[in-house]
Amino acid sequence: MAQIRLVNVCKRWGSYVGVDNFSLEIADAEFLVLLGPSGCGKTTTMRMIAGLEESTSGEIWIGDRMVNGMEPKDRDISMVFQSYGLYPNLTVYENIRFPLRVRNVPKAEHDARVMRAAEMVELGPLLDRRPAALSGGQRQRVALARAIVREPNAFLMDEPLSNLDAKLRVSTRAQIKNLHHTLKTTTIYVTHDQIEAMTLADRVVVMNKGQVQQVGTPTEIYDRPANTFVASFIGSPAMNLIPGHIAGGVFGADGMQVANLAAANGPVTLGFRAEDAQVVSDGGNIQAPVYAMELLGDATLVSVRIAGALVAVRAPKDFRIDIGAPLQISVPLSVVHLFDASTGARIAL
């Protein structure tokens, strides 16, 4: 097991900055998720930790060793990739066993370690099959078992669920969560899927354009986003963000007013989540015609347009209304977030 530290780590290709001044301490046995859109630097950060990419500057520590310049094989980490990377000519058993052979682990230990790893991911009945005879979910479990059998200091997982369908993603996600609880091995997990981040992580690092936007628990990031990027990236649907002005403690935008805000006069962006507001028959602080209605099964998502922004609210699952019909939405003061109109940074209320 190992603590992992990154100190002012940068990666540049000429004038292009892939990762900019990244510093973070990852605790022993922590499950940390690097989250962000494509091109934000999350995979590059993981590849630098693994030794597959050389950092331009900064220090990377695994345990008490600075590993800059150290070969990947000497860093005592296991990786699980988006592509399964299985050997098609080998059985499931031999694919799982392969890291033990490469690292010259005594043969007497192989069978017990392979069987233990296979049991953890429920592959016992499939050990004699070859990858071509497996489903996508089963292949991903083989890749997980191959990483487990190493018994490394840390796991690095790069979008391991991206090739699976929605149902398999849910079940494999639960398996990864249970594995981490059982193994208690430091894990760094890269994803663009905020649901994976929220359900798996002890802490989430939200990245954009090579820079860290916010680090915190899933609850902290969801409840108190540091800026409009985090607010718009976390949540399904994303937080409603409405441009407007504050004058005398009242936020105003076309079709919306919120009073009693303790904030300075001027342009701001107001945010609230769809589940924190409600449709009302009278006295709402949003009044606008219905733009769209979506049935979600457990709720109905109703959207309106306010100041050019699409704003969604969750209504009861049996709620029905025609597109174009007038709608009133109540947004309590207690659920409102304010962000600086120019920088996007959170404004304390």
Q: Which is nearest to 227 in space by CA: 208, 238, 213?
A: 213
Please give the single-letter amino acid code of residue 18: G
Q: Give the C-alpha separation, 153 to 46, whole Å.
A: 15
pTM: 0.91
The whole-number pLDDT of residue 1 equals: 58
For the chain, domains (ranges, CATH) are 4-228 (3.40.50.300), 238-347 (2.40.50.140)
327 within 8 A of 290, measured Cβ to Cβ? yes
Q: What whole-number distance in Å separates Cα of residue 141 and Cα of residue 146?
A: 9
Residue 254: which H helix or E strand, with range?
none
Partner residues linked to 6 by β-bridges: 24, 60
DSSP string, 147-213: HHHT--SEEEEESTTTTS-HHHHHHHHHHHHHHHHHH--EEEEEES-HHHHHHH-SEEEEEETTEEE
State the Cα–Cα distance between residues 92 and 168, nearest whole angstrom: 19
Residues 153, 185 contacting (CB under 8 angstroms): yes
Block means of pLDDT (10 residues each) for the chain, 349 residues, are 92 96 97 96 96 97 94 92 88 95 92 94 92 91 92 92 85 91 95 94 97 97 98 94 96 95 95 97 95 96 95 96 97 96 95
d(C-alpha 342, C-alpha 349), whole Å: 18
Alpha helices in the chain (DSSP H): 42-50, 92-102, 107-120, 136-149, 166-183, 194-200, 218-223, 228-233
What is the model's pLDDT at position 298?
94
Q: Find all residues with CB under 8 Å of 227, minimum gap 6, and list them.
A: 213, 214, 339, 343, 344, 345, 346
